[in-house]
Structure 1
């Protein structure tokens, strides 16, 4: 295999791996800008994956993506009910909801499909090449020959950046996360906007789970979210709570995951493969440790709002 083929494969794998991370992290970015940290993001991802699996087998791939987003939003609605509605602790509630969603999806999966599961017969979406751009050497096949959901993610990051900076609603949401008392004094309904932000984050996480099933794996596996919800939260920190920064950080984590696959394929038999598998999670810890002192989180993040 030539160096060009290796480079193209690495870029393609990076973008593919980064897509569900970016979707979940962009949603979490909006939630955290509103002052709510959703530790239950992992639960929305796994719920979205199962919802997409069930729906895709009945109404097709498009319905699978919609069902995945709806399932993720349903989990987020429970989180919002307790944290925004009853002002429960966000960290404890999110952790409990994640454990609940992981257990519930596993139980439902076995109930619906039995111990044998759905094998590899779930409908999936194929890659779509963009004429002209996909023929660019090295980067073309890797970036511009991807599933539709990847292109949607590419457009969503700048759109959310524009919305946060240039619209009244975006300004109100940022005000809630930074200066909740001032936002209330200005007539903003903080709890309503926070609830909507959490629901949006849940839908995005559910869409990330649907992407794992319908655009990548082609099947559902218990626990297949594999910590992506927590990595998405780290990506938001690395991206400095800005959508474009979050998208770039997702690519970094996608590259780390692709590197471990590349290293294994190169036959580095002297190094235990478990070290390669741990690479993305080690990067998560390093990012959180290195960025905690420099990144400026929204001043009202995690605080209860009246």
Structure 2
């Protein structure tokens, strides 16, 4: 058995420009799928995986994100006085223990690798997870939990992966694998945003990682990569080059790219239809829209 993963980094310093003007005053991570913000889905997934220490890499203008996890005693008292105990339980589920969350600032937008390196002093000498809240994954067993259970057997570094169409490969970090065993695959190379037609596979890295402290050291020595940024995939690829184990994990679940408007809307529909209290009414509305579209054609 390998060291247990108990710490997770949440890179949340991005400005969310694709969602302007909403993100002018509201951090993208606070935008809601149905009635929960993106960051809550990420935190819930981390909790299910046994994460105990939560490290947020933030930037200027993210105070609303920090406030979200604070206690709201006046609101709790109002709900209790009104007898709204179900809502009170829902609210309390979002509370975090004092000291559970640490905040680190990324002063310059130098890429995901740089954001992760900002948290190095809080990681120490143990494996850690990285969760990108933009990637929301609907799964019976949460994605990070699947990975943590696999990592307990394999050790090394591990990235979540899924298949993408060849024309979309240039938008992702892409794996080059030597062999696979069920959901687990041995990685022999990684390419960040390969040129069209140059991808070694159609297996894309998505926003869940389990990394070793060695990856943090690599971030100090690698040169800037795609987009002039410090790429996390380049630091992981260096692990492969130096003979250390890197695994891909093909998770069981559906990933939604909530960093894009279309992906956010798709996730909203999917999560609404999964809710017992919304499914019937919302399904009826969607059916009406389809009827209107067909009538207009």
TM category (shorter chain) comes to under 0.3
Give 1 or 2 for the bigger CA radius of gyration: 2
Would you tell me which structure has more strand in proportion to its own residues?
2
> Relative contact order: is structure 1 or structure 2 higher (C-alpha 8 Å, sep ≥ 6)?
1
Instruction: Give the TM-score normalised by the residue count of structure 2.
Output: 0.25
- TM-score of the aligned structures, taking structure 1 as reference length: 0.25
Q: Normalized per residue, which structure has more helix?
A: 1
